[in-house]
Amino acid sequence: MASNLSVQSANQSAWQQFKVSQAERNADQAEQNARALRAEADAAQRSADRAQENARTLGVDADQAQQSAGRARQGVAASRAEVQAGTRLSAAVDKVVQAQVQAQAPAPAQPKEPVVNSLGQVTGQVVSVSA
């Protein structure tokens, strides 16, 4: 019986060593998995940080573009006002020029009434003598 006990004790010891060894392997594998997951999480965090910085930059760019568009609209409105003022000025100048031209134009010649001299002849008319 003593030999049975010693075999049994040896088997239990070997079984316990196997279990400890297996537990160590499981712990090592779990640790490797944890390190791999930590590396993935760190990479994902870096990527998220870059994406957030890109989003901030795009927001700033969008704000600047909006301001630029507002300035462009103001420029367009100013240009329209300038064109309208130029058109009104041009029309006013045309009216003034027309008035000056009309004022300087000689009055249309009025036909003179024939003058009769003391001999009863009508003067002031051209008479052809070649006939």
User: Residue 106 falls within a domain, yes or no?
Assistant: no
Residue 21 domain boundaries: 2-76
Number of domains in the chain: 1
User: Residue 56 falls within a domain, yes or no?
Assistant: yes
DSSP states along the chain: -HHHHHHHHHHHHHHHHHHHHHHHHHHHHHHHHHHHHHHHHHHHHHHHHHHHHHHHHHHHHHHHHHHHHHHHHHHHHHHHHHHHHHHHHHHHHHHHHHHHHHHHSPPPPPPPPPEE-TTS-EES-------
User: Residue 32 falls within a domain, yes or no?
Assistant: yes
- Give 119's pLDDT tier (boundaries 50, 70, 90): confident
Query: How does pLDDT run across 72-98, given as a tens digit for each residue?
Result: 999 999 999 999 999 999 999 999 999
- Model-wide pTM > 0.85: no
User: Residue 111 falls within a domain, yes or no?
Assistant: no
